[in-house]
Amino acid sequence: MKPLVCMLLIALLAGCASPFTRVDSARVVVRERMEVKAEGDWNRYTPPGSKHREIWTQHGMPLDVLVFFTGVADGEALNDQVSADKKPPKFKATMSPEDVAALFENLIAGDGGRFELLQLEPHSVAGSEGFRFNFNYTARGEEIERAGLAIATVREKRLYALVYAAPRGRYFERGRAGAERLMDSLHIVGKP
């Protein structure tokens, strides 16, 4: 089952006892490694057992999701909650931007989904050399096409990334500016 779909199911199964907490409009530290300036109505959730992910949403996970990858170490999988016997692809600090984008493709739309990389370009991320990519995808078993954008950089052999996705059209465009402001405000903090 796709990681983003799994997160949705967890949120739905939690019912009234939502695992999400409100984010105030302020500078927010994410998993002691990243800091962003939050604006607007965001809610955050840290998947139990995850080493390096935190999920934010404004309108609920079916409608928008912003995933922080807070220092994925060399040799670790982006999906840190899949069993090792499934052999998920692992991040290598020597990967090219194209290879890192392919890791995200596998995470987002692997196992039968469809992924289209629209643009990949150099981009300054948290004051470091990095890259930005835009994409469309449809997860396996879904009919809804989603659009996404991501930024990523590698520091001290760790991958730091922010990935925003929402259904193409109204929902994506509605949240895009806020997601981009968060991405532009990103600082890497703390020790790896």
Distances (CA, A) of 114 to 33, 111, 117, 119, 140: 31, 9, 10, 16, 7
**Three-state DSSP class for 5?**
helix
The per-residue pLDDT for 2 is 53
Full pLDDT tens readout for the chain, 192 residues: 455 544 444 444 444 456 899 998 999 999 999 999 999 889 999 999 899 999 999 999 889 999 999 999 999 999 988 876 788 899 999 999 999 999 999 999 877 899 999 999 999 999 999 999 999 999 888 899 999 999 999 999 999 999 999 999 999 999 999 999 999 999 999 776
